[in-house]
Structure 1
Amino acid sequence: MLVDSHCHLDFPDFDEDRDALIERAHAAGVDLMVSICTRVRKFQNVLAIAENYPEVFCSVGTHPHNAGEERGITADEIVKLTEHPKVVAVGEAGLDYFYDKAPRDAQAEGLRVHCDVARQTGLPLVIHARDADADMEAILRDEMSKGSFPALLHCFSSGRDLAMAGVELGLYVSFSGILTFKRSEELRDIARELPADRLLVETDAPYLAPQPKRGKRNEPAYTAMTAQVLAETRGLPLDEIATQTTENFFRLFSKVPRPAARPADVA
């Protein structure tokens, strides 16, 4: 069993074949998916999909790209939305200095609000970090000093220092299709070094399809391709990586119920 810990099933890229996409995920061994919210004001769209599919759960939060337009949303407002049984995470929130689509102070402010929500609810904070390693580490250290909370660095593509700081602070690290790219040797070195009990896999679909699908629309079924490269990177069989990353997922996303075992799993 594999879990796609981060995808965006509410995006219009999937409007024409969402049912078939879920079926393909199952066929590839991906039994659970977490559809990640990028705008609190559009949370109902994300929730509707999670409610429609038993194998899909969701988060609630504001992506750093949208931090400027959703400035002023309070922690209490987000906490209230997390009460729904299908909401299993907070975010994604964070810092993106590569695109800089929102003022940096708004991004930092939004990140701190989401840290507060994670602290209050115990739900994992899904963190987006791009070209902002030093500021991200500083904010996480400051926020953790106020009281710890579960979190993960999603779609990890940052430097080793942030990865190790994250592990020190109790965070998990999730790898996407970027891990499979030919020029990602430095990232694979980091993936090889991290503790086994902190690893997750994801797609970030519809973006960042792994090799050999690079450049095409990504989808949850392709989680298996990233998991295969992670297994090769760490010198392990795929089934061992699948078991480890799935156990890690349930430890972090503790609100997600474990699915009933398939007949083949029981034999």
Structure 2
Amino acid sequence: MIDFHAHLDLYPDPEKIACEVTAQGMYVLSVTTTPSAWKGTSALVVPGSRIRTALGLHPQLAHLRSSELPLFDAYLADAQYVGEIGLDGAPEYKPYWLIQTEVFDHILNSCCTVGGRIMSIHSRRASTPVLDRIEAFPDAGTPILHWFSGSKRELLRAIALGCWFSVGPAMLVSEKSRNLVREMPRDRVLTESDGPFAQIDGKSAMPWDAGRATAMLADLWGGMPIRDADRLLHANLRRLVKQDSTGQGES
């Protein structure tokens, strides 16, 4: 099972969750929202786990934590993955648009200087600006659009730019999202939970809820057996990590 976007450090008991996903043999990308959280979140990786920690600066916090960009740069050489990063065009964050774009550009440029990274990217109400920045920094690495909610036209542009996509059960409740996922290349899709922020049945999503997304994808992919969908997703992950230009990490 794969959860390619979870905030392990933001659960009430992160250590317990980390132990459980390790016991289940799950692959989890544990994204951070600030550079200062990266070391502490990295410490959740217990021996034998398949948890990987991503170095991030969330766009919703850009105006509060832009001073941590030097810290981001200091940690980047040791980070195999970058996330959560991106832009947020929701009305409450529009006043901070300029600093969001400055932070995002800085991060993308830093990724270019270290040879590229696998990046988990937030693009709520900002799909076109995010794609503009991805196009402007082609050497930043491999973009994984987390919970993509743009238009079909924006989706086709993202596909042409080589983007990947991570989708979760909370996202797949929406018919619009289901229609978008049907158009995504199957060989560039991974599952996620976005826990604890995403809600499932009124409760915070857990990493293992990503398994629900596998079942939902199997249905969207023509009713294929869930086992075959799971194999495809794991093959995607192996290929993503293999093509990682840093040459780091393993699935």
> When the two structures are superposed, what TM-score results if normalisation uses the length of structure 2?
0.86
Report Cα offsets for 1:153-201 as digits up to 9, x if no partner.
01222222222211111110111123331xx112111111111111111
Question: 1:98-117 counterparts in 2 under 5 A?
Answer: 98=90, 99-100=92-93, 103-117=96-110
Q: Distance in 1 between matches of 2:125 and 2:208?
A: 28
Name the residue aligned to 2:32.
Answer: 37
Name the residue aligned to 1:133.
Answer: 127
Give 1:69 shift: 1.9
- 213, 218, 238: which one pairs with 1:226? 213
The one-letter code of the counterpart of 1:129 is: S
- Say whether the 8 Å CA contact 1:5–1:249 is kept in structure 2: no
Name the residue aligned to 2:64.
Answer: 69
Runs of at least 4 residues of structure 1 off by over 4 A? Answer: none
Q: Distance in 1 between matches of 2:124 and 2:88?
A: 5
Q: Distance in 2 between matches of 1:137 and 1:218?
A: 28
Report Cα offsets for 1:76-111 as digits up to 9, x if no partner.
753442333xx3311211111224187111111111
Unaligned 5+ segments in structure 1 are 259-267
- Say whether the 8 Å CA contact 1:192–1:233 is kept in structure 2: yes
1:249 aligns with 2:237: yes
- Say whether the 8 Å CA contact 1:39–1:63 is kept in structure 2: yes
Name the residue aligned to 1:193.
Answer: 183
Higher mean alpha-carbon deviation, 46-55 vs 228-237, is at 46-55
Change (3 A) 1:256 1:43: same
Unaligned 5+ segments in structure 2 are none
- Say whether the 8 Å CA contact 2:108–2:140 is kept in structure 1: no
Q: CA RMSD in A?
A: 2.3
* Aligned sequence identity (%): 23
Q: Distance in 2 between matches of 1:33 and 1:200?
A: 11
What SS does the corresponding residue of 1:249 show, helix, strand or coil?
helix
Name the residue aligned to 1:89.
Answer: 81
- Say whether the 8 Å CA contact 2:109–2:140 is kept in structure 1: no
What count of residue pairs does the alignment treat as equivalent? 243
Name the residue aligned to 1:157.
Answer: 149
Question: 1:202-221 counterparts in 2 under 5 A?
Answer: 202-209=192-199, 213-221=200-208
> When the two structures are superposed, what TM-score results if normalisation uses the length of structure 1?
0.82
